[in-house]
Each structure stands twice: as structure tokens, then as C-alpha cells.
A and B are shown apart, each in its own frame.
Chain A
Amino acid sequence: MPLGRLGAFLLLGPSLLLLVLVFLVPIGWFITGALGELGSFADIREEAVAVLGSRAVLGAILNTNWIAFLVTVMVLLIGYPVAYALTRAKGIAFTLILVCIILPYFTSVIVRTYAWMVLLGRNGLINQALLALGIVDAPLDLMYNRLGVVIGMTYVLLPYMVLTLYSAMKAVDPRLLQAAEGMGASPLRVFLKVFLPLTLHGVIAGALIVFILGIGFFITPALMGGPSDIMIAMLIEREIELTQNWPTAALMTLVLLAVTLSLYAVYQRFANQTEGLAP
């Protein structure tokens, strides 16, 4: 039975209401209120130039993008084979891989991050193992630096990539791969010329999702990063909690929101385009 416009609206109503109440209204109130403190439009512009031009903020924006980029690459490199294995797995193996990917979802990010800290710390399991095996002489710095941030974020964001890629890979008609093989293509060629192009929209969609989520990360870089790994979300938190400089926080929030929304628009566009690409 097709839903009328009214029916669809009624079904979406509760979640729309929730989003408006707990997300749109507070953010709107926060930004207008904070910027209102500054006074006139000219003042806001002046402050904006000052904030966005400051070394700290520029550095954080750069850091944020670079870390999100690194994490996206890592997640893609790890996630693509995992998603492929998932499309090929059957029965117990399938369930096992899926549980391994999904289960961490149900655990809080803080718990997962602390778990990594236990593993990666100077006296953590990995360093102890490496020392015991004689592979290294002194403990490695696996945490409180860029490496720790990337490892932690990669882990947290991996499921998004795997599940996005899985749905793209599952949609590939296996008979196309068989056809390519039958026409003389080597397994590598079948992958590069058929499978990869047919899953590319999943790669792009997954990368965008991971990047979008990555630039807003707070807990993992805060706990696992070093002093130079300041991301934009951490800067916003600092402005609000420590210096109580709400207008600056509001401006940075706006920047983050704008970047996120424009990337999301790209993602949407891609998601719609790929529907038309399906055979």
C-alpha cells in the first residue's frame, strides 16, 4: 500500500520532532545566542576573521582534516578485504565476522578507547610482548601521539566502512565476474576492471561517511592523542569548558557544521547517482 504524503509525514513525525528538539533547537539557540553576545554583524565578521585566522584554529582545522584523511585511508585499506571476506563467507564464518564487526558498536566509545590504551600503553600488552620477544629494546610510543589517534579512530570507524562496502559488494552480480573470467581475465584483472569499478561507489560513500564522522571526533583523540593532536572538536570543547568563550566556540561549530553538511551533500548526491548506475 503506497503511503500518502500525510502518512509518510506522520510516520517520520516523532523522529523529526526529536531531531528538532534535541539537535536543531539547541544548536540554533547556541549559535544565535553566542553570536548575539558579540553585537552587530560587523563585530561578528571581525571576530570570525580573528578566530579562523588564528594559528591555533587553523592548525586544528588542518590537523582535523589530515587525521580524518589518514583514518579514512586506513579504514578503507582494512575494511575492503574484510567486507569482501564477508560477502564470500557463509554460515558460521559469516556470523562470526559480522559479530566481530557489529559487537563493538554496542560498547561505548570510551570503553573501547580505554581498551586500546591498555593494549598500546608503554607497559601495555603489545609493548610487553614485543619486549619479551626481543623485537624491540625499549617500549615503543604507540599512544599519546598521532599513531595512537589514528589506531583508535580507525578501530571505531571500521564498521561504517565495512557495512557500506558490504552492501555495495553484495549488489555485484557474481555472473559478471564469471563472465570476465570466462573471457580470459586473470583474477587480478577481474578485480581491477570489474569488481573494483562496480564497488567504487561504495568506496566513495564509505570514505565520505568515515571522513564526516572523523572530523567530528572528540573522545578518542582527546584520550589517545598527544599535545599536538588537537582536533577541532577538542578546541570547541576547550573554548566552552575552560575559557568559556562561547562566541569563538560558536564560530568553530559553524565551520565544522558547514564542512559536515557540504560533505554530506556530496555523499547524498553520490548515493543517488549510484542507484541509477545499477544494472
Chain B
Amino acid sequence: MALLEIRNLSVEFETVSGAFRAVDGIDISVDRGDLMAIVGESGSGKSVSMLAVMGLLPWTATITADRMEFNGHDLRTLSGRARRKIIGRDLSMIFQEPMSSLNPCFTVGYQIRETLRLHTSLDRKARQTRAIELMEQVGIPAPEKRLSAFPHQMSGGMSQRAMIAMALACEPKLLIADEPTTALDVTIQAQILELLTDLQDRTGMALILITHDMGVVAETVKRVAVQYAGQKVEEQQVEALFDDPHHPYTAALLSALPERSQDRFLPTIPGVVPGQFDRPQGCLFSPRCQFADARCRAVQPQKASAELGYALCHYPLLHGEPQGKEASA
């Protein structure tokens, strides 16, 4: 059985101007030891869907799902108390901004030991030993000294390592990393990504990496889910995705990468991601899609087969050519 199993997850926010659907019918399934990425631009619902799993959304959000299970627990009906037992122990998350996710009033050591105090039966001394061990594991030099440092005394890369140490304190079964390196410099990014994949390899935990950087995706994960405007539009193994994207959005996104272009002018995707008020009728990508026709603009597409990467498209691409178009025309 999968470690994390989500079927048809939707999240709606109550706003002054009506309901806004940030996540729209997403399926995610993660096995033990899995290494996957969720990619998408801002507003694609990638962070919100994971925050829903963690139960960290504000009260204005309404979460609906057909299934939402983690390690045998039904996350939809779990009480707050029971959820807090799982989060931080079996399921943990690291966030984009290491500087603002750490509590500035407490030392890093205190914050790491707090996790251990709540979730393990270790005594004070054992917690300290474990904290040092964790700091070593994430590559912080002089861990004994660093444990008594406050967050403002550490650099961005160091803080992110401390966050990772905290998330790993109880050896979680699943780690969700939400843009863990976006705020960091490339040489530090390389260190952090290496650290995450290394830990995943060694401890066998599953890792979901949320990112918008195709380069990071290509170098880090095995499986990729692409999201657009709250929907999952495609899911494939990483090599297959880069070789032969099946959804026109994925294809357009990949061709817009500067390093893939030979020409001085880049191929572009016209228009912008739809917002709250301009959500199109049929396929959400249809106003920006070069292959769209009347059917795309009127009818919502269904998921394609696994061979076509579950592309949410009427005419999924195969080697750049839309399929099934003639038959319907």
C-alpha cells in the first residue's frame, strides 16, 4: 500500500469576492522511498496541496477529497491531537524561507530538542546527543557550538540545514520540501540538494520536492508531477518527461527554458496563468495552448492513459504531435 494516497483533493478558499479553487481534483500517490517532484508556476496550487496534507491551512480553506491517507491514517477525519502525533514524527516539512521559519527567540538547539521531547521518549542527555548527531548529519561544522546559536547568527544555508535537521529528527517516513533552495545561492543549493537525496538514499524515506526550477527537477528526482492552475496536468518519470512531454503545457514550459533554445528569441507561452475571475470554461490551459480548438475551450478534458503521462488534455502530445485530433474533427 502506498505511504501517501490522495484521490481527488480540492481546496477552496473563502475570499471576499467569492470562493477560489486553489487546488482542483489532484491525485497523488507516494510509496516508501519514493523521490518525486511537484513542479508548477506560482498559483499552480503546489504548496497549498501539500499544506492541506500537513493540515496547516487556515480556517478559510475548505478541503475535500475522496481519499487522503497517510500510513494508514485517514487525514480527513484525524483530530488535531492525533495529527500532531504524526506530524513532526512520521511526516515533516521544510519551507522555502529558512530565516522566517525558525523561531528567532529560541536557540537552534532548543528548537531541535523540542521535536525530540514531543515525539520520543529520550531523556535530556540523549536528546542533546541526538541533536549533535543530527547537526553533524546535515553537515554543520562544530555542532556543539552551533546548537546554542540563535537563528539570526546563522547564514541562510546554515539555517536551512538546521531546518532539515529538525525535520529529520524523528526519521520521518515522508519529507515534504517546499522550495527548499529557492532563497539560497547556487553553490549552497547544490550542497542542500545533495544532502536531501543522500539522506533519502540512506534512510529510505520518501521525499516530495516542490519546486519551479526544471534544472533542480532534472538533477534530483525520479518522478515528476506537473501542475497548472490547481490541476495536475501530467505525471511521468523524469527522463520520459524531458524527452517526450505529453501535455502541451509541459512541452511549452520545457521549450521556454533558455538553455534549451538555440535561437536568440525564446519560444514563449502567450498570456498568463488564469486567476480567480478569468478561469476558462473547458481546459484551463486552452487560452494559451497552440493546439487548442473549440472542443478544448468548451469541454473539460479527462486524464489520458499512463503511457501518455495521465495528461489532462483532449489531444495529448506524442513526440510533439497532438493525438486523436483528426478523429474528432
The answer to whether A binds B is no
Residues of A within 8 A of B (CB): none
